[in-house]
Structure 1
Amino acid sequence: MHLDAVRHVSNAVTDAHLFTYLVPETAEEAAAFGVTDRGPAYLAFRSAAMGEVPWQVVAAAFYNFSPRAVRAMTGVWQAAPPARWQAARFRAAGRAMRRVGVDLTDAQLAEARSLIDPVVAGADHAGKVLAAANAAVALPPDPLVALWQQITVAREWRGDAHLVVLADNGLGPCDCLVLHTATGRLPTALARATRQWDDKEWSAATARLVARGWLGPDAEVTDTGRAARERVETETDEHCAALWAPIGAAGARRFASLIAPITDAFTAAGTFRGLRGQPDPVDGG
């Protein structure tokens, strides 16, 4: 399995999944449960597949969020149980895709499913908590949303693998975020607002990266830091080669082309304005 094909399909999957965190339909569905704070709503929607777990479990699975950020979700399962959050997530995804005019024919949907289904069915979920949880969720009857859920499994599988690589490279939860922002892959203001590491924690992580030579004294990323960041992505690709092996490089590239209309429609609608060229803002590093 060629790693360039893995990176290509991984980027396509990330892009096709991303809209759910940005569209108004998601906020509207959360507001129907009485949850209007974007942080707890995001955490509830994304972790709902795991069931009614304590916030500490969510923090462990999400890695790069500070404990104080995740603790804010306390009470979301009292607002509505996880199954209702999951159903609301499906509704939001379907509503949003139809609002922006995602137009996949029945034949395209069937072909896309013929490629992604064996990928999901054959996935080894050891150590892949969010992917395993999403794979266990019953697919909705709406064919477009069902495809999106299969995309979600693949997206979370790469995310779970990425956390293994981050830990293996000695990049802790705040450290990976500082490096991520220093390379320009995620706006610092967004990272600080959503992950809620305080000034002391952010400064300590920056100092650790400076000591490694990955950041300079001015906290600008060094060539060594850029190489380290790319190595993390390459090692993640290496993990993900096994995920896409059931359909091979050609199948992976074909799947990427089949789901591209999802990203194209949201791009045309302005959903990603200010984020294009950036990886998934829910990604940790």
Structure 2
Amino acid sequence: MKGLLRGDGHGRAASDVSARSMWELAEPVHDLVYFTPEARQEADRAGMRGFWMGYVAMRAAPLGVVHASVVVSSFYVFHPDRVTRALPDAWRYATPSDMLAARERAVDLSMRRLFGEDVVRSARMAEAADLAWDAAAAADTAGRVLGGANQALNRPELPHVRLWQAATTLREHRGDGHVAVLVSRRVGPVQAMVLKAASGESDGAMLREGRKWDAATWQGAEADLWARGWIDDVGRLTPRGAAERDAIEAETDAAAEGPWRAVGRDATVRLAELLTPLARKVLASGVIPSGNPVGLTGAPRRDAGGAGSR
């Protein structure tokens, strides 16, 4: 992965592509809908009241008007209050279709600003969009609610927006699989964040506060993982905890391989080459907040003492 994001940009490490490396390359593109000023601007313009209402409504929009409990379950690591403060109120101000249009406008504007018109209008962008769309269309979404809802959306006409939507479908497909792995290994929402932050990937305080968990619940999750022997007295992974976390990530990767097997190695390698400069541009721009709430290896992070989640 280091070669793909930090190498010479000519595919020297492309032979190493995998479900994990493709996530690392597509995730920064997807993340534009969370962290760019255009995302907040378009959410506000659609009628949302504050960042979190916009976040929840934009991300949940492919599901349609469903009970908040469906969204709580799908998002997994968020406290129910984070979702129920946004839904169903958001649908008083805008419809899910309005929010789908708002997020497309947001990524259109943010990609034009960040990458430039020449890149957005290039043949490479169109090629990347079509390759990513083929992979997203090939994803098996059985049991994957957010992945399936995104996969069912119409194909955007603009290539760069199409690339973003494909990256989003693939990201939610992977996330749904990750949740299934966590559930199967008895790792609850807060334990998942504690485990990830204990690895040093993300800032625990940012995750806890952003996902609206109180300190007592967080400490309870830490106590649970300590009792399992997964973290030590200062909140760092023990060897056993590292092994468990590696197993979770390996199972998540295995569950996300389907789209890449379906399109084949040549198409995957080519898409990795096309995504690499885009991912680098996003990571270098500072769009993803320090503290790395999305858990990317190349994203900025604080000197965190423990806790995190995808």
Do the two structures share a fold, i.e. TM-score over 0.5?
yes
Match for residue 172 of structure 2 among 128, 152, 156: 156
Matched, 1:166 2:182: yes
Residue pairs, 1:75-154, within 5 angstroms: 75-102=89-116, 103-104=119-120, 106-154=122-170
Which deviations, in whole Å up to 9, do the C-alpha atoms of 1:64-90 show, x marking residues without a partner? 111111111131111100100110000
Name the SS of the counterpart of 2:83 in structure 1. helix
* Equivalent pair of 1:6/1:252 in contact (CA under 8 Å): no
Q: Residue 181 of structure 1 corresponds to which residue in structure 2?
A: 197
* Equivalent pair of 2:295/2:309 in contact (CA under 8 Å): no
Aligned equivalents of 1:93, 1:278: Cα separation in 2: 18
Aligned equivalents of 2:82, 2:260: Cα separation in 1: 33
TM-score (norm 1): 0.92
Gaps of 5+ in 2: 1-14, 300-307
TM-score (norm 2): 0.85
* Equivalent pair of 2:111/2:120 in contact (CA under 8 Å): no
Distance 1:43 1:221, change over 3 A: same
Aligned equivalents of 1:45, 1:224: Cα separation in 2: 38
Q: How many pairs were matched up?
A: 283
Give 1:185 deviation, angstroms: 1.6
Aligned equivalents of 2:234, 2:132: Cα separation in 1: 44
- Tell me: higher relative CO, structure 1 or 2? Use CA pairs within 8 A at least 6 residues apart: 1
Match for residue 30 of structure 1 among 43, 46, 52: 43
Match for residue 223 of structure 1 among 239, 243, 248: 239
* Aligned residue identity for 1:111: E
* Equivalent pair of 1:48/1:86 in contact (CA under 8 Å): yes
Question: Identity percentage over the alignment?
Answer: 34
Give 1:275 deviation, angstroms: 4.8
Match for residue 21 of structure 1 among 34, 43, 59: 34
Aligned equivalents of 1:205, 1:8: Cα separation in 2: 29
* Aligned residue identity for 1:101: F
Give 1:197 deviation, angstroms: 1.3
Give 1:223 deviation, angstroms: 1.9
Gaps of 5+ in 1: none
Matched, 1:200 2:216: yes
CA RMSD after TM alignment: 2.2
Give 1:240 deviation, angstroms: 1.3
